[in-house]
A and B are shown apart, each in its own frame.
Chain A
Amino acid sequence: MAKASTLFTYALRLGDDSLIIGQRLSEWCGHAPTIEVDLSLANVALDQIGQATHFLALAGAIEGKGRDADALAFKRDVLDFTNCLLVEQPNGDFAQTIARQFLFSHYQALLFGELAQSKDERFAAIAAKAAKEVAYHANLASDWVVRLGDGTDESRTRMDQGLQWMWRFVDELFVMDEVDAAAQKAGVGVDKAALRAAWDQRIDGVLNDATLARPASRRPALGGRKGHHSEHLGHVLSEMQFLQRAYPGAVW
Chain B
Amino acid sequence: MTNKTIVIPDARSAIRNDETETIAEILASIPDPEIPAVSVIDLGIVRTIEAECVVITPTYTGCPATLAIERAIRAALDANGFTHVRLETTLAPPWSTDWITDEGREKLRAYGIAPPPKGADAAALRNETRPQCPRCGSLNTEEVSRFGSTPCKALWRCNACAEPFDRFKCH
Interface residues of A (CB under 8 A from B): 36, 39-40, 42-44, 46-51, 53-54, 121, 124-126, 128-130, 132-133, 135-136, 139-140, 143
State which of B32-40, B41-49, B86-94, B103-111 sits at the interface with chain A.
B86-94
Query: How many chain B residues touch A (Cβ–Cβ < 8 Å)?
Result: 24
Evaluate contact between A128 and B93: CB separation under 8 angstroms: yes
Query: Within 8 Å CB of A135, what residues of B?
Result: 125
- B146 sits at the interface (CB 8 A): yes
Query: Within 8 Å CB of B144, what residues of A?
Result: 36
Evaluate contact between A39 and B147: CB separation under 8 angstroms: yes
Partner of B125, one of A48, A53, A121, A136: A136
Query: Within 8 Å CB of B90, what residues of A?
Result: 125
Evaluate contact between A50 and B62: CB separation under 8 angstroms: yes
6 A-B pairs, CB-CB below 8 angstroms?
Answer: A47-B62, A48-B62, A50-B60, A50-B63, A130-B61, A139-B146
Q: Which of A39, A40, A49, A135 has the most CB of B within 10 A?
A: A39
> DSSP class of A's interface residues: helix, strand, loop or mixed?
helix
CA distance A215 to B90 in the complex (A): 42
Nearest B-chain residue to A136, judged by Cβ = B146
Evaluate contact between A47 and B91: CB separation under 8 angstroms: no
- B118 sits at the interface (CB 8 A): no
Q: How far is the CB of B68 from chain A (nearest CB, A)?
A: 12
Query: Within 8 Å CB of A39, what residues of B?
Result: 145, 147-149, 155
Evaluate contact between B146 and A129: CB separation under 8 angstroms: no
Q: With A44-B147, A124-B92 known to touch, is A49 a contact of B62 (CB < 8 Å)?
A: yes
CA distance A129 to B91 in the complex (A): 7
Evaluate contact between A136 and B169: CB separation under 8 angstroms: yes
Evaluate contact between A47 and B125: CB separation under 8 angstroms: no
